């Protein structure tokens, strides 16, 4: 009924990744945030007289209006990447008030979930943003749900002659 010839089995051998890499002539990285995850992407430092700080890859912005809370994750080049608001129908439906303590906690939980789904695990939080107890509760909720509130330092290649070399972020030592 079903025949498998020996020649077809020999032709369909499983090859390892080493052979694929040897034959590969060019590699295209489809993830634009890969260099940021490896901590080797450029962080813009801005100018000394700039009013706002720009040394970040992803920054948390919190806006409060008289009725709502709006949180955004800003990328330094592309602007807002993730936005969560208590105006959204799915969030608003679950809340008694769109501006109380529970709303801040709920918005923080949804923001953390969306960040982790999109691959953002570290964000920069400005020190002047944590003014009130509600905002502090939002930040605590973010950190409880797996978001680090401090971005790692950029990896810089050590100069020759320096005895202590920093750990490379792409190498794993276990």
CA nearest 110: which of 138, 136, 133, 129? 138
- Alpha carbons 120 and 33: distance in angstroms, whole number: 9
CA nearest 73: which of 31, 110, 127? 110
This prediction's pTM: 0.75
Which whole-number Å values give the CA distances from 18 to 15, 21, 22, 79, 136, in the listed order?
8, 5, 6, 40, 50
E strands within the chain?
Answer: 58-64, 69-75, 79-85
What's the angle, vertex CA 141, arms to CA 139 and CA 142, rounded to 5? 65
Q: Are 76 and 53 in contact (CB under 8 A)?
A: no
Neighbours of 168 (CB within 10 A): 13
Per-residue pLDDT of the chain (174 residues; tens, 9 = 90+): 555 555 555 555 556 667 777 777 777 767 777 788 888 888 887 777 777 667 889 999 999 999 999 999 999 888 899 999 999 999 999 999 989 999 999 999 999 999 999 889 999 998 777 677 889 999 999 999 999 999 888 888 888 888 887 788 877 776
What percent helix, strand, coil does the chain show, rounded to 5?
Answer: 30, 15, 55
Q: What is the pLDDT of residues 3-45, one digit of tens each?
A: 555 555 555 555 666 777 777 777 776 777 778 888 888 888 7
Burial class for 111, CB neighbours closer than 10 Å (0-12, 13-18, 19+): buried
CATH class of 59-145: alpha beta
């Amino acid at each position: 009924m079903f025949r498998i010839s020996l020649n077809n089995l020999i032709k369909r051998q499983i090859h390892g990744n080493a052979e694929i890499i040897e034959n590969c002539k060019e590699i295209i990285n489809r993830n634009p945030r890969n260099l940021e995850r490896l901590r080797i992407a450029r962080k813009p430092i801005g100018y000394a007289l700039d009013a706002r700080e720009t040394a970040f890859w992803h920054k948390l912005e919190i806006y409060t209006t008289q009725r709502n809370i709006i949180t955004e994750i800003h990328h330094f080049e592309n602007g807002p990447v993730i936005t969560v608001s208590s105006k959204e129908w799915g969030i608003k439906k679950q809340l008694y008030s769109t501006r109380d303590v529970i709303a801040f906690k709920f918005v923080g939980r949804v923001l953390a979930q969306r960040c982790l789904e999109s691959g953002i695990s570290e964000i920069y939080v400005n020190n002047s943003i944590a003014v009130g107890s509600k905002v502090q509760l939002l930040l605590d909720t973010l950190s409880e749900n797996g978001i680090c509130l401090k971005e790692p330092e950029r990896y810089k290649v050590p100069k020759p002659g320096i005895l202590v070399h920093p750990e490379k972020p792409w190498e794993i030592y276990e």
